[in-house]
Structure 1
Amino acid sequence: MGAAVLTVRCVECGADLPTGSGRGRPRRYCSRRCQARAYRRRREHGPATVPRHIPDLPAPTGGDPRDRLVGLAVELADAGGLDAVSMRALAQRAAMPAHAVYRHVRNRAELLGAMAERITATSTPRAAPLPREPRQQLERLAGDEWAMYRRHPWLLAVLATDRPPIGPAVLAMVDRVVAAFTSAGFDPAEAFRAYLVLSGYIQGMALLIRRDRADTTYPAWSSATRSRLERTGRTRTRPWLAAAGRTSPDTDLDTWFRFGLGGLLDGLLTDPARYGGGRAQTGEDH
């Protein structure tokens, strides 16, 4: 009989990998990509960082195969971040051969677009109708987008690019915000620009959302950084640094978001005509 082949998991993404006959140094990563990610994490956060653990997820059964694969990919991303989503990992979780996965999803880019479409379609709009006032509409819609990134932090990397996926649900999300700005007095071109400003603010704040909830290194980093700043005297002439030391994204991020959103909408909605295209300027209401 041949030598028994043991199966272990990649320490980075959790994928199964054979160790061979036991000769030589055992493998720890399923690919060079996972090895490079682990190296970057150690370099940025130090050797104490615990690799992300991807929990075992049940293989999907029943229903449309593509829909099931997209749903499972969302679960993978929610559990381990966007780096945990690969065609190989998806095939393994779905208990399917890789070539079967490619029959339903052509490549990873298409998969990520379908994941974004799934989240956007199921997250908005709310059952309750939008308020009548444009300001309140924009507050609601901004809160909906913010909540998406809160629930699915990986989604930011998919949507906040110069080539975002453009599916019906993503376009409908933009439609609602542009319509609210149009109701406030912007012409279509300026309404879209105002949307970009608002979405840019939301996505910028979303960069502060913790990507890996299992990562426990942030408190240690924050404490060490604050101590170093105090020790070097950099807080003496900067009251804001002392105040910042009493806050944390883990507890105050939603408050920060609402504070900035209020100021941004105050500025945008004070006088739409000053941006060069409002209906008050063009006379469309007369």
Structure 2
Amino acid sequence: MTAPYLRIVADLTRDIARLHPGDRIPSTRQIAKDYGVAMATATKVLTTLQHQGLVHALPGVGTVVSDHHATPRPAAEKQHLLATALHIADTEGLAALTMRRLATELGLPTMSLYRHIRDKDTLILHMTDTALGEIPLPDPPPPGWRAQLDTLARLQWATYRRHPWLAQVISFTRPMFARAGMAHTEWALRALNHLGLPPNDTFHAALCLATYVRGVAVNLETEATFTQDSGLDDEQWLAGQEPQLHAILDDGDHPNLTALIADPALDYNLDSLFDHGLNRLLDGIAHLIDTAGGRRRD
């Protein structure tokens, strides 16, 4: 999901476009009340608008619209464009994001978008870079290659959960060269270097990790769409499928599956699937390091 403060910034930017220089905008206290956010978030909203040159603080009055708000800086316009595009994709799926839809949300002619974004592929690239860069990589990293790769994978999983569409646009054969994405690859290579693996194994291990996370995350947008369309969560949907499931299992041809489903200890969802697979993948990399004669650094 788009950061809450960015959605508020987008709302107030649209309001500011209809105001005159010197008009007051809501205070931090009013923003916190209207949007149900913390005062720190409301302060971040006003700070962002000030950095964009849209507003300034006027002693004894409050925060007011700046004289040049009608022509915001290109960087501010592009940031607003990306925040709006992310919001559409996060809440409605990537299929809902078109240049025409984006222009409508921004209240602009479609052709005006091309002053900032060359085409939709470029828009997706910038959205991907923004999404992958939202959660910073820890500095310094945790000690040990396994802890570093585990941290990276879980950070990526959290990013996919925030932006379910993202897995649909990531490719490992025709990659988009997003700066934040390349930083993730650099992090994985740094964790694996000097462990005794040949360069080809190091590169493949780093990409296998990212490919695994993306592979599980591909299900997120589909699940979100199913939930939105049906109005049912996973448990409610499964409950409705029980008659069909038992019609298949009751024939006795699937004894192992029948026993597994009946086991009260069974606990399965996408998060548990991700967690189980990640640990087995890291076990495999550890074995690869040992086999190569490298020193294991857990």
Q: Same fold (TM over 0.5)?
A: yes
Is this contact kept in 1: 2:172–2:211, CA < 8 A? no
- What CA deviation, in whole Å up to 9, does each residue of 1:116-140 have, x standing for no partner? 00011122313x5211210111110
Report what 1:255 is aligned to.
272
Give 1:69 shift.
Answer: 0.9
- What CA deviation, in whole Å up to 9, does each residue of 1:145-196 have, x standing for no partner? 1111111111111114632311211111111112112244323322110122
Alpha carbons of structure 1 residues 241 and 97: separation in structure 2 relative to 1, 3 Å: farther
Asked if 1:129 corresponds to 2:82, the answer is: no
Report what 1:272 is aligned to.
289
- Unmatched 5+ residue regions in structure 1? 1-56, 282-286
TM-score by length of 2: 0.65
Of 231, 234, 239, the residue aligned with 2:247 is: 231
Matches within 5 A, 1:142-161: 142-160=153-171
User: Counterparts of 1:257 and 1:192 in 2: how far apart (Å)?
Assistant: 22
Alpha carbons of structure 1 residues 223 and 192: separation in structure 2 relative to 1, 3 Å: same
Of 103, 110, 115, the residue aligned with 1:98 is: 110
Asked if 1:163 corresponds to 2:180, the answer is: no
- Unmatched 5+ residue regions in structure 2? 1-9, 15-71
Is this contact kept in 2: 1:131–1:137, CA < 8 A? yes
Alpha carbons of structure 1 residues 279 and 166: separation in structure 2 relative to 1, 3 Å: farther
Report what 2:11 is aligned to.
58
The letter for the 2-side match of 1:75 is H
Report what 2:55 is aligned to.
none
Alpha carbons of structure 1 residues 234 and 150: separation in structure 2 relative to 1, 3 Å: farther
Asked if 1:214 corresponds to 2:228, the answer is: yes
The letter for the 1-side match of 2:114 is Y
User: Counterparts of 1:145 and 1:163 in 2: how far apart (Å)?
Assistant: 19
Asked if 1:178 corresponds to 2:189, the answer is: yes
- What CA deviation, in whole Å up to 9, does each residue of 1:221-259 have, x standing for no partner? 53344421311336843433553577676xx32222111
Query: Structure 1 stretches (4+) deviating beyond 4 angstroms?
Result: 59-63, 217-221, 244-249, 278-281
Is this contact kept in 2: 1:145–1:202, CA < 8 A? yes
Report what 2:87 is aligned to.
75
Give 1:84 shift.
Answer: 1.4
Identity %: 28
Is this contact kept in 2: 1:149–1:155, CA < 8 A? yes
TM-score by length of 1: 0.67
Q: Secondary structure at the match of 1:143?
A: helix
Of 108, 115, 122, the residue aligned with 1:110 is: 122
Aligned length, in residue pairs: 219
**Structure ranking higher in helix proportion:** 2
Is this contact kept in 1: 2:129–2:180, CA < 8 A? yes
